[in-house]
Amino acid sequence: MTDVSTTAAARPDILRFVKANIRDYALLLSLLAIMVFFQFTTSGTLFKPVNMTNLILQNSYIVIMALGMLLVIVAGHIDLSVGSVSGFVGAVAAVMMVPMKVDPFVTMVACLLLGAAIGGVQGYFVAYHKIPAFIVTLAGMLIFKGLSLTVLGGASVGPFPREFQLLSSGFVPDLFTVSLFGGPFNLLALVIGGLVTALIIYFNVKERREQQAHGLAEEPNIIFMGRNALVAFAFLGFSFLMAQYKGLPNVLIVMFTLIALFVFITTRTTFGRRVYAMGGNEKASKLSGINTERMTFWIFTIMGALAALAGLVFAARLNVATPKAGLGFELEVIAACFIGGAAVTGGVGKIIGAVIGAFIIGVMNNGMSIMGIGIDWQQVIKGVVLLLAVFLDVYYKNKG
């Protein structure tokens, strides 16, 4: 009798929590639903190891830029130049490594600093001269697209040294030699996946215990356990698929490290809290002692560095720099953030949401391409999804 009454009493708490966090759960369920849909419509092609690897490689640069774009949007700004900046940096890297024969490592460091400098200059005009970010970055989009053409002389430049190609096309070498399921099996990929899964669950449990100790735990036990079980299933399943092909791509390690770093920055640091405070109410933040100009400058500097890294990854994947590189990237990056729950008014958004949003777009692109849907209808469908995501954000905000 007691167990029944306890269960009945817990149901309203579960429903209340789910309702309060409906957008977060709806986003994750949407990604799962889209993946299951395309798994069936592509006759099982989506979850094949080689296709999952391609999915990571095709969307790595979008995910990398989405991390910085989320900070920009949360702070109440926008950056339209990221696609052009990534293309320009890729062009500079190509000229440095191919005609000039500069060492690939020196080239990558120089290009990352160049991207940060570009972002810093744009952030300077936005922060200290109060020019709207839309105008500054629109100008940047045009400037760096033109500079890309100038640097490359209107022609493609490549191929690149093998060391640089490994940034995007390389894989973590396997330490074991194992043959399973009728072929080579990268056991290291599965081991790394298991360790990452264990760490994520450990930190989740640790955080929950801290919340319970201070009476701040709101998530019901059943949802907490279900969420962690889903995380374990997803990470282990993904690692298993990767192990059946070539293992974990180098760019996946870079991407995952950046995701972990930005999750830490946005949730555990003073800088992250100030970004959200500034996006929520810039005037109040300034009155409370936050140097909003300096914050804006650094946010755009970070965005520039990430755009540069994305440009290097994209160039390494193609093994050539082209004048059209980066075309339309800014649209997909911004769409990923808004689909991932970032508010158009600023102050709201999560790193994990932006990553999920990027993969929603990536899975849609991949699935529709396998199905043979033309690029014209792909654009239409992605536009509808973006509009629906923003509509739901505004709807739930007004309803709340």
Least-confidence region, from 2-16, 33-47, 338-352, 354-368:
2-16
Query: 177 and 160, same structural domain?
Result: no
Q: Which segments within 11-57 are labelled E, that is strand?
A: none
Query: 36 and 163, same structural domain?
Result: yes
338 in any annotated domain: yes
Instruction: Tell me the per-residue pLDDT of 85-118, one tens digit each, with 9 for 90 and over.
Output: 999 999 999 999 999 999 999 999 999 999 999 9
Q: Are 267 and 204 in contact (CB under 8 A)?
A: no
Which tokens go with 314?
A: 């994209």
Q: pLDDT band for position 298 (50/70/90)?
A: very high
6 in any annotated domain: no
14 in any annotated domain: no
Instruction: Tell me the per-residue pLDDT of 234-286, one tens digit each, with 9 for 90 and over.
Output: 899 999 999 988 889 999 999 999 999 999 999 999 999 999 999 988 889 88
3-state secondary structure the chain: CHHHHHHHHHHHHHHHHHHHCHHHHHHHHHHHHHHHHHHHHCCCCCCCHHHHHHHHHHHHHHHHHHHHHHHHHHCCCCCCCHHHHHHHHHHHHHHHHCCCCCCHHHHHHHHHHHHHHHHHHHHHHHHHCCCCHHHHHHHHHHHHHHHHHHHHCCCCECCCCHHHHHHHHCECCCCCCEEECCEEECHHHHHHHHHHHHHHHHHHHHHHHHHHHCCCCCCCHHHHHHHHHHHHHHHHHHHHHHHCCCCCEHHHHHHHHHHHHHHHHHHHCHHHHHHHHHHHCHHHHHHCCCCHHHHHHHHHHHHHHHHHHHHHHHHHHHCCECCCCCCCHHHHHHHHHHHCCCCCCCCCCCHHHHHHHHHHHHHHHHHHHHHCCCHHHHHHHHHHHHHHHHHHHHHHHHHC
Which tokens go with 329?
A: 């990237």
Other CB atoms within a 10 A radius of the CB of residue 297 amount to 21
Query: 182 and 133, same structural domain?
Result: no
pLDDT at position 1 over 70: no
Q: Are 258 and 67 in contact (CB under 8 A)?
A: yes
Spatial CA neighbour of 235 closest among 176, 203, 192, 264: 192
Query: 265 and 116, same structural domain?
Result: yes
320 in any annotated domain: yes
Looking at 248, 275, 292, which one is the last position of a domain? Answer: 248
Query: 71 and 39, same structural domain?
Result: yes
Query: 306 and 207, same structural domain?
Result: no
Query: 367 and 236, same structural domain?
Result: no
Query: 223 and 293, same structural domain?
Result: no
Q: Is 39 exposed, middle or buried (0-12, 13-18, 19+ CB in 10 A)?
A: middle
pLDDT at position 136 over 90: yes
Instruction: Tell me the per-residue pLDDT of 191-209, one tens digit each, with 9 for 90 and over.
Output: 999 999 999 999 989 988 8
pTM of the complete model = 0.90
CATH assignment of the domain containing 96:
1.10.3470
Query: 362 and 392, same structural domain?
Result: yes
Q: What domain count does the chain have?
A: 2
313 in any annotated domain: yes
Looking at 186, 219, 248, which one is the last position of a domain? Answer: 248
Other CB atoms within a 10 A radius of the CB of residue 45 amount to 15
Q: For 361-369, what is the mean pLDDT?
A: 90
9 in any annotated domain: no
**How many Å from the N-terminal Cα to the C-terminal Cα in the chain?**
36
Query: 138 and 83, same structural domain?
Result: yes
Query: 280 and 211, same structural domain?
Result: no
Domain of 182 in residue numbering reads as 171-248
Looking at 248, 272, 297, which one is the last position of a domain? Answer: 248
Q: Are 160 and 166 in contact (CB under 8 A)?
A: no
**Percent of the chain scored above 90 by pLDDT?**
50
Q: Are 31 and 234 in contact (CB under 8 A)?
A: no
Instruction: Give the integer Cα–Cα distance in Å for 75 and 265.
Output: 14
pLDDT at position 316 over 50: yes
Query: 152 and 186, same structural domain?
Result: no
